[in-house]
Chains A and B, each alone.
Chain A
């Protein structure tokens, strides 16, 4: 008998019953880091969504640009004195602050959409595999395993080499790379839930398997899936940035933060660091925010940590 066997039942017996949502919020906000992460995340999302209204300039409208203003350091004034370039300008005289806001938009949008679809496809596959079991399960999981054993970057590169450039192609590539994580997690969670009584009850009511999956099984498998979704969002953002940086990602007309960083690469050696630096900071803030939240979410939702 270990010491935990004495202490835990004593605490459990003394605890007042709480609703699960309330406990979730209490546990979540108990971590200062998670709160910081949430703030960072909110700031990023707000900045991205309201970019057209916040940005002092639309950097992709060539008419706005004055080539004489290119490569100016942060804080300089524009040639005609109408605006101050908070974070400097890049090689094409675009205001970096505005470019970052629009780039954030693209980055978040691409990552968000791809995660959403990867979640949908992956969770469906995983749930189906767990529900039907047997050969179907073995086959599906084999595919998942094989895909997961390949580094994501390579799979993405190959796909993009085939599909070519374009925002939609990047999204497709990201979906293909990510669905396997969701599939595996969903299957794992569903296997545990499948043996529980409410699934038996639902089946006894001769509900179609689709309804059982969708309305009964899925909601109870959500916690680990939510955790994976947050962490995956961060991965997706980073991966998209990397691909764009390498030149196989989004096209020049709709640059994401990765592409902005890539544009600034050539100026790094001459000391004009800001063109790559600030987009990177924005990227980092977004990713760190998501990771902090996701990390703590994982601790909070982990059934093993539940008292």
Chain B
């Protein structure tokens, strides 16, 4: 068969189409596989959580008055389905869960999932603001520290970063309240500012008072995360800087700004984004503490209260939601990683 230009073109386009469909298949296969993994993890977690919480104390004593008779307690127990054997309870629970019904809070009677989702935007607002702050401040500082590791400013940055993640989060929050809210009175000491409704979400980032209230909690979280980002950035910078492609970029006569801003940055973004993504998960979870300190009406505060009050459905619902969120977050980070690093993307997923 002679390799005429027409035949070559035909061969090329057919090959391209095959590769594309293989690529798409590969990506699809991965997504499906991850979703299946999610389901398995969720099942396992929900079982663990369910069994665990079951062993915690008796919710009845919280809900029934101390003088209630045995019969009255039994009645309450039956109405909440607590008299069934454990595995029956679990099945009932799972059956309802897949329909989106996670039971009602023992305390308020409202659907547990709805309670949590109502408070989710507040937590997410806080988490996203804190992460953005950390990245916007941490990356430039980290690059600076990585460029000239021996300089005074770099050492100061690194020492500062040790402080950042050493100081206990909640204590930092307390001290910030003391200085900025109590002594200086610039910002309120607790609570969330005015919210603006966007669709069904209530966000406070669109009001001035919202920002004032958001400032301290976000800074508290950001201090620790910023430190991590600085360290990762610095390490990545130090690793990338001696690489040949940086030297080659300089040998081409490129301006230092381009060498650092394009060649270096694009390379270090990969580990930074991965770390930032994973830290985001931590932030959402760790918001528990910050929300307690600042009385921020988010999911975390709800969780602590529910644990103390033995409000089982809410705790279970929260945990499942967080598990789902974390697994999804991991998936998203993986996808972003493949988008950023063409070596992984174009060879198909390994």
Direct contact of A and B (CB under 8 A): yes
A153 within 8 A of B: yes
- Point out the residue from B163, B167, B177 that lies within 8 Å of A268, measured CB to CB: B177
B244 within 8 A of A: yes
In the complex, chain A residues 252-291 whose Cβ is within 8 Å of any chain B Cβ: 258, 261, 265, 268-269, 271, 273, 276-277, 280, 283-284, 287-288, 291
B156 to chain A, nearest CB (A): 11
**B241-254 toward A: CB 8 Å interface, digit per residue (1/0)?**
01010000000000
Give A151 to B174 CA distance when docked, in angstroms.
22
A157 within 8 A of B: yes
Are A271 and B182 in contact (CB-based, < 8 A)?
A: yes
A161 within 8 A of B: yes
**B291-315 toward A: CB 8 Å interface, digit per residue (1/0)?**
0110000000001100110000001
Closest partner residue, chain A, to B304 (CB atom)? A246
Using known A-B contacts A280-B175, A288-B162, A291-B166, determine if residue A161 contacts B286 with beta carbons closer than 8 Å. no
In the complex, chain A residues 145-202 whose Cβ is within 8 Å of any chain B Cβ: 146, 149-151, 153-154, 157-158, 161-162, 164
Using known A-B contacts A151-B282, A154-B322, A291-B162, determine if residue A280 contacts B304 with beta carbons closer than 8 Å. no
Are A246 and B175 in contact (CB-based, < 8 A)?
A: no
B262 to chain A, nearest CB (A): 22
Size category of the binding interface on chain A: 35 or more
Are B285 and A283 in contact (CB-based, < 8 A)?
A: no
B289 within 8 A of A: yes
- Point out the residue from A151, A161, A276, A288 that lies within 8 Å of B171, measured CB to CB: A276
Give A158 to B304 CA distance when docked, in angstroms.
10
Give A150 to B319 CA distance when docked, in angstroms.
11
Closest partner residue, chain A, to B165 (CB atom)? A291
Q: Please, which residues of chain A bring their CB within 8 A of the CB of B163?
A: 288
Are B182 and A162 in contact (CB-based, < 8 A)?
A: no
- Point out the residue from A149, A158, A162, A241 that lies within 8 Å of B319, measured CB to CB: A158
Give A269 to B322 CA distance when docked, in angstroms.
33
B326 within 8 A of A: yes
Q: Please, which residues of chain A bring their CB within 8 A of the CB of B55?
A: 162
Q: Please, which residues of chain A bring their CB within 8 A of the CB of B277?
A: none
Q: What are 24 pairs between A and B in contact, CB < 8 Å?
A: A33-B159, A150-B285, A151-B326, A157-B288, A157-B303, A157-B304, A157-B307, A158-B49, A158-B319, A162-B55, A238-B168, A247-B308, A248-B307, A261-B170, A268-B182, A276-B174, A277-B175, A280-B167, A280-B174, A283-B171, A284-B168, A288-B162, A288-B163, A295-B162
Residues of B within 8 A of A (CB): 41, 49, 52-53, 55-56, 159, 162-163, 165-171, 174-175, 177-178, 182, 189, 242, 244, 281-282, 285-286, 288-289, 292-293, 303-304, 307-308, 315, 319, 322-323, 326, 330
Residues of A within 8 A of B (CB): 2, 4, 33, 146, 149-151, 153-154, 157-158, 161-162, 164, 234, 238, 241-242, 245-248, 258, 261, 265, 268-269, 271, 273, 276-277, 280, 283-284, 287-288, 291-292, 295
Q: In the complex, given contacts A238-B169, A273-B182, what are 10 additional A-B residue pairs having Cβ atoms less than 8 angstroms apart? A: A153-B289, A154-B288, A157-B303, A161-B307, A242-B168, A261-B170, A265-B293, A268-B178, A277-B178, A288-B167
